[in-house]
Amino acid sequence: MKVAYDVSERRACRVLRLSLSTCRYQSVKDGQAALRMRLNELAATRIHYGYRRLHILLKREGWNFNAKRIYRLYSEEKLGLRRRKPRRRVACRTRVDRPEATCMNDCWAMDFMHDELFDGRRIRLLTIVDLFTRESLAIVVRQRFRATEVVKALDWIKQTRSLPKSIRVDNGTEFTSKVMDRWAYESDVTLDFSRPGKPTDDAFIESFNGSVRAECLNENWFLSLDDAKAKIESWRQDYNEHRPHSALGGNVLNLAHKFERWSLSC
């Protein structure tokens, strides 16, 4: 009206029967900049989490907003991920370099391995290591694993050792489950997920699994599940107490050396 008929704003509003205060109103709504920033940070590290799980994480941190608002911001920030990834594409999300472990129980890593008994029955191994001391904390052998078995293994280690600040894991269903997420929250442990298809994000556990494969699994013939447990546990003790490690200058993982490294760094 103002441009077409060259009239004032007041006269145009009177003709259109529009309140002048409505015409001049400017929104004072909060843009939720801090909430948007935190939502983007969580979505960058938990790349498989939808808005509902991100909403739970935000509530734990003290953000008292309902799921509808989180969904609106989630959509406006374009954080939704495709369920089917296009072929021959590179993942667009990046991860900052992970800091090195600085002391004992600072950071652990765990992963799964597969093998077979002599009769073809498959077994799975859960390997857990301390990234600072290079110590193999446990190699749990079972025919199948659920998230509850992973939690039991960590609670078993907890009886004789303090839990770490963070645990590096891949995006397997056992690690991304609600059971594992609840245990980590209640135990004050951060689950540090690697990027899908990027084993180099957790290079040490991959190197350790290679040692298990070459020095133990490929060199033994397992007659039963109990036989596999006994032989693998024997190898684990030898790995911790006798095997020389190039990363430690040819030293072994004896207790004196471990606590010497811990005292120097902490």
SS3 110: strand
> What tokens appear for 230 in the block?
């006994």
CA 233, 222, 155, 108 dihedral sign is positive
- Candidates 73, 45, 68; CA nearest to 168 is 45
92-128, pLDDT tens digit by residue?
344 445 677 788 889 999 999 999 999 889 999 999 9
Q: How far from 45 is each of 64, 119, 190, 195, CA to CA, in Å? A: 21, 42, 11, 9
CB 203 within 8 A of CB 226: no
SS3 190: strand
CB 172 within 8 A of CB 197: no
pLDDT surpasses 80 at 4? yes
171-213, pLDDT tens digit by residue?
888 988 889 999 999 999 988 888 777 767 778 889 899 989 9
Tell me the pTM. Answer: 0.64
Buried b (16+ CB within 10 A) or exposed e, 108-125: bbbbbbebebeeeeebbb
Q: What angle do CA 265, 96, 162 make, to 5 degrees?
A: 40
Q: How far apart are CA 211 and CA 194, in angstroms?
A: 21
pLDDT band at 150 (very low <50, low <70, confident <90, very high): very high
52-86, pLDDT tens digit by residue?
888 988 988 888 889 999 999 999 988 876 555 44
